Amino acid sequence: MPKTSIRTKNLSKTYDNQTVVSNVSINLPYGGIFGVLGKNGAGKTTFLAMLMGLITPSEGEIFIFDKSLKLHKYEILKNINFQSPYIDLPKKITVMQNLIFYARLYDVIDKKKKILKLSEDLFITDLLDNIYGTLSSGQKTRVNLCKALLNDPKLLLLDEPTASLDVSTSEFIRKYIKNFQKKNNSTILITSHNLEEIEKLCSHIILLDKGKIKFDGKKNELFKQNKSSSLKDIFLKDDK
């Protein structure tokens, strides 16, 4: 088992003289749920995108499972997956056709069996023959989560996994994520504006502010440091 899941060294991203992520160095152990927090424009999505190779860093290095992302990209990507409400699947084909396509890309053995198992767990079996574009946002989120779990990722990146979902679906997704992590001992990195969600799920928090790390450590340490009992208080204090 690798020692670290994500290690970044002086990671920066600059667009036309505007720095979005600045000198971020983190060292996350293997296994666990980690939260990345920050206000709009703090650089969370850019940071996540760099970890998946979707955005090339301007400076710095990324190591996933102790291996350089630059040198072992495709080997690493086999064990990573991602879900975001801002990214979709092709709308004109069925859920099953979409999932089979991704199962192929990840070389999943016994694709149908895997999809049916995950569909049962995520209560989307009835949706498999539906056209993806006709689904509600809650259904799409569950289908996207199914896609994100097809390859049993060792590193799962979730960008606002419960955005625009009702209370019960959100709770279901949170429980599912927690159980998945426990069962597979995988690493999950979550960004969310839902501070309660991060509080419930994550033991370790990375706080980004204007692209820089403001805090990186245990949740309790953050509370202690800020003399607060909730993330909401910390954010509100910061605004003042």
**Residue closer to another protein (CB basis): 41 or 90:** 90
Taking CB under 8 A as the rule, which mask of x and - marks residues 45-84 in contact with another protein? xx--x--xxxxx-----------------xx-xx-xxx-x
Long-range CB pairs of 234-240, under 8 A, 24+ apart, other chains included: 235/39, 235/195
Sheet with 18-29, strands from edge to edge, namely 18-29, 4-15, 59-64, 67-68
**Residue closer to another protein (CB basis): 14 or 228:** 14
State in angstroms the smallest separation of the CB of 15 from another protein: 7
Alpha-carbon torsion (191, 210, 12, 9), positive or negative: negative
- Site for another protein (CB under 8 A): how many residues? 30
What part of residues 107-146 is at the interface with another protein (CB under 8 A)? 107
State in angstroms the smallest separation of the CB of 144 from another protein: 9
Joined together, the tokens standing for residue 107 give: 């070389």
Is residue 6 at the binding interface for another protein, with CB under 8 A as the rule?
Answer: no
**Residue closer to another protein (CB basis): 86 or 167:** 86
**Residue closer to another protein (CB basis): 95 or 222:** 95
**Residue closer to another protein (CB basis): 84 or 216:** 84
C-alpha 141/C-alpha 216 separation (Å) is: 29
**Distance spanning both ends of the chain, measured CA to CA:** 44
By CB under 8 A, name the one of 102, 108, 170, 208 that touches another protein.
Answer: 102
The residues, any chain, with a CB within 8 Å of residue 226's CB and separated by 6 or more, are 233, 234, 237
Q: Are 101 and 59 contacting, i.e. CB atoms less than 8 angstroms apart?
A: no
